[in-house]
Amino acid sequence: MKLKQLLVAFCAGLGVAAAGGAAVLSQPVETPPSLVIFEGEGFGGTSWTITRDIANLDSIGANDSARSIRVQGRWEICMDAGYVTDCRIVDADVTDLGEHNGSMSSARYLGPDRRMTNRTSTAPAIAGRPAQPGQTPSLPVRRSSVLPNTDLPGNDYRSFDLARGQTVATCQAACEGDNRCVAWTFVVPGSTDHGICYLKDRVPEAGPGECCTSGVIGA
C-alpha cells in the first residue's frame, strides 16, 4: 500500500513539473577541453588528442609534429617544451599553423572559450516565446580592467608562472577566458623569471603595489 501511495505522489509531481515546464530553462553543458594535434595540414594524417597540460609533447610522441589543430576551449601552444618560446593563444580550429608548422612542443589549457560550447542545448525562452531546439544564444564577451601598480591579494583559485615572451596580457586573457575568474593579478618578474599570474574567484580589496598589475572582470 505504501508503494502505491509513493507512485501516486510521484506521478502527481510529474504533472506539476509538466504544467510549469515553460518556466524551466535548460542549462548549457560545458564541453570538456581538448586539443587535437594533426601532423598534416587541414586536419590530415596522424592525430593526438590531449585534455590536460603537457609540458613536453615528446612524452606522447607528438613533439614538433603539429601542422593543424582542433580545439575546445582556450589553449596556449609554445614552440619549446616547458611553455616557452613564441607562445600563442588559440581558441578556434587552425587548418594551417603556417610558420609554426612542425614547431610545437608544449600546450596548456587556459579555460573555456567565449563561445557557447554546447550547440545542442535548448536556448532560454526569449520575451515569453518558447525556445527553439538548436538555437544558440550568444554569450557576452568578458572584458576586464587593467589597473597598474595595484595588488588584489587573496581569493586565488589558480596560479601559473609565465614563460618567456609572455606578458601581463597573457594573465588578463587567461582570466577573461575562464568563466570562474572574476579578477586577476600579475606579479612582475622577480621571484620567477617571467612573472606569476593569479586568477581569483572573488574580488579582493585592492591595495597599492608596485609589484603588480591587476584587473576586474566588467570593471
Reported as a single tens digit per residue, the pLDDT across 42-70 is 998 899 999 888 888 888 888 888 999 99
The strand ranges marked E within 141-193 are 147-151, 156-161, 183-187
Tell me which fold the domain 34-111 belongs to.
Gamma-B Crystallin; domain 1 (2.60.20)
At residue 179, the pLDDT reads 86
Which residue type does 129 have?
Answer: R
Query: Which of 181, 176, 179, 177 has its CA nearest to residue 158?
Result: 181
What mean pLDDT, rounded, does the chain reach?
A: 77
The CATH class of 147-216 is: alpha beta
At residue 130, the pLDDT reads 41
At residue 133, the pLDDT reads 46
Rg over alpha carbons for the chain, rounded to the nearest Å, is: 22
Helices (H) and strands (E) in the chain, counts: 2, 11
Question: Grid coordinates in use for 149?
Answer: 601598480
Which residue type does 107 have?
Answer: A
In the chain, list all ranges with CATH 3.50.4.10.
147-216
Q: Compute the distance between CA of residue 25 and CA of residue 122 in angstroms, rounded to an integer.
A: 8
In this prediction the pTM is: 0.45
The tens digit of pLDDT for each residue in 79-126 reads: 888 887 878 888 888 888 887 777 898 899 988 876 543 433 333 333
The tens digit of pLDDT for each residue in 133-157 reads: 444 344 456 789 899 999 999 999 9
